[in-house]
Amino acid sequence: MPCQNASAFALPDHLAHKTDPDLIGADDRHFAAISHALDEKVSSLSARLDRRRRDPAGHGAQTIDRDADIRRLVAELTTLRRFGLDVCIGHFATAGRERVYVGRIGLLDAAGTPLLVDWRTPAAEPFFAATLADPRGVMYRRRYRWSGGRIVDYWDEVLGDDDEVATRTSLDDQSAFVASLSGARTGRMRDVLSTIRSDQDAIIRAGAPGALVVDGGPGTGKTVVALHRAAYLLHEQSRSGLSRGNLLLVGPHRPYLDYVADVLPALGEHSVQTATVADLAAAGLGGLADLADETDAEVARLKSTVEMVEAIEAGVRFYEQPPEASMLVQSEWVDLRITRADWAEAFASVEDGTPHNEAHTQIRETLVEVLLEKAGAGVPADHLRVELLSDPELRRTLYRAWPMLRPEDLVGDLWTVPAYLRLCAPGLSTEQIRLLQRTDPQAWTSTDLPLLDAARHQLGDPDRARRDQRRKAERAAELERRRMVIDEVIAANDDPEGVAPMLRHGDLQEALLDPSMEEGTGIAGPRLAGTFGHIIVDEAQELTDAQWLMLLRRCPSGSLTVVGDRAQSRGDFDESWADRLERVGLSPERVSQVGLSINYRTPSEVMDAAAPVIRSVRPDANVPESVRSSGLPVEHRRIDDLSVVIDGWLAEHSEGIACVISAPGVALPDLPASDRVRALGPADAKGLEFDLVVLVDAESFGTGATGAVDRYVAMTRATQQLVVLNSERADRATT
């Protein structure tokens, strides 16, 4: 970071008028104090981290607490070392002349005086929320643009009527936000914290008791809102019930997750888990994420319904039928009969929510208890229990009545045994059942993943009971070994000053024999395992009902942020968001919706060309209004000109990212070997943005709503320029 005596400002020559000491002197003095406090905080955190790392690992909760402290300290140091002075994003002044400096984190000086307020706190809210119509007591606001740890530009906005304020501000024709949009892309989402708009900030800070739907067209900042909302909710975890690592961001595809990967760490959050829907399903299925799409549209539709997920539940219940006949169990002491009522009692003993495979042990334990009660007090219960648990005929009968099942086998049977599918999904027609059948039960497609996930959720882990029993036996053996060692030490050592007298104390023996000390090692479970306190879903308009049910299983609280645009759905979306979410189990009372209607990303030249494309199939589409113009009209050329277009753009622009978007399977000429040029299909471009978009043979994207949506999405990825290439040159809008 800059020397404390040097200015934090490094403005270019054409902004020399902004270097007046009356304009920036107070900032430099404040930055000097921030610099000193940052040095002190880095030193203090580093020392605390070193001490914590030297602490013994301990056992159980001690290990978990130690590891959590280390992760938190590392995250804080990572943020401080990454940013330095540019941890400050701007400041505002109130009517009382008080300046409030806003940062990515909060920071105090040695006396406890705030030097920076965390952007997520109520004290910082006016910086984002103040407008001319509602200034929130703010007289003016200043936003900084940083580069290399120095301020290379800043923008002031006067919101109050005060002549003195005018002498301490530098006003620009362009706002900080609009000016920031003209910069070249880098392949990763840029840092936009300092330019969050008031409408976006209100959504970021909204409560999270149910599902909040953020509906907005291309370029309205939906993804920005989603990511900053994640950071905000984690900061407010005491209010929202969240904890670190307990928030999940779901994106449409892997390129999207790579694109946004830097945003949350830049906001000081390193614990948010990210995944695609396929990642979630494949996490417990042995790596089935990269599956081909279903080629038959009707098969894909049928597999994506709530009814098909319910068929999975019915398929599991088919294997949960108690035996109709009684059976005799013989033992060394007594012969015992298990009646039909006994079987029914054991099956009914399963606790609600217990997965099928994991309930097997509960049923067996209940049966044994029933038989022990029948045996009476004259029989040695411990020995009889061991014999009953190992009885081969009882085990075989129970496995036939309540078998251990694998998700792949259960779902595969649906596609290869018509009678089983008809039993599980009675609402299907004969033709639909025939359509869903296939010869290979495990020729999986992407539409099978939500159903495999539902089956895994219903069935649970078939090996869990076996592992639990093995761990119990191992712990029991270890405790017995420790008892023997203690007894041997006491017997062999009569030294009154030695260790033996200490071992005679009950408290020490209890600690040494504590069976819990080996449990809870603090090792994290597998990535994406368990449930989440809040899930943020971007491009949510593409999720099927079966995929929504996947997410809701992982979020029992129903606390969601749903981000999307109904007009950009490649499938039918004629209903409201509330209706769609109600169909998968969220009551309308727990769903609220807000809209974004201003396009900050896409220039008006591109939106003017893209709007007719989507309105041709969805006349009521929420097409946002662009706030900026690039001055570059949409260009139409021949496909043969692709290399010329790309080479010319690279020669003219030393920065930025270009993307060639074409339908899957379309052969493209060789593109320049440059990390600044991408080639994607329209589905994989969703959620991304590029300086230049070259749309190749847009008509090949298909007909109807799906083709029009793909063209609309592809066109609106451009932040500066759009070139449309067709088989023949056309000076018309792509339709």
Q: Which of 354, 351, 282 is nearest to 316 (CA)?
A: 354
Q: Which residues pair with 212 in a beta bridge?
A: 561, 592
Annotated binding residues for ATP, written as ranges, equal: 216-223
The two three-digit tokens of residue 373, written as one number = 């009660």
The two three-digit tokens of residue 451, written as one number = 């159903």
Cα(248)–Cα(272) distance, rounded to whole angstroms? 6
CB 308 within 8 A of CB 284: no
Helix (H, G, I), strand (E, B) or coil at 155: strand
CB 309 within 8 A of CB 414: no
Annotated binding residues, written as ranges, equal: 216-223
Element (DSSP H or E) covering residue 73: helix 61-83
- Residue 91 CB-half CA count within 13 A: 21
CB 367 within 8 A of CB 346: yes
- Fill in the amino acid letter for 398: L
Cα(452)–Cα(441) distance, rounded to whole angstroms? 12
Q: Please, which contacts does 369-372 make with residues 24 or more away whose CB atoms are closer than 8 Å? A: 370/338, 370/342, 370/345, 370/346, 371/329, 371/336, 371/338, 371/342
Residue ranges in 428-496 assigned as alpha helix (H): 430-436, 449-459, 464-492
Residue ranges in 586-691 assigned as alpha helix (H): 604-615, 642-652, 682-685
The two three-digit tokens of residue 524, written as one number = 């994290």
The two three-digit tokens of residue 412, written as one number = 């595969």
- Using CB atoms within 10 Å of the CB of residue 352, give its burial: 0 to 12 exposed, 13 to 18 middle, 19+ buried: exposed
Cα(513)–Cα(435) distance, rounded to whole angstroms? 61
Q: Which of 466, 406, 467 is nearest to 442 (CA)?
A: 406
CB 282 within 8 A of CB 246: no
> Is residue 268 left, alpha or beta, with left meaning phi > 0 and alpha meaning psi from -120 to 50?
left
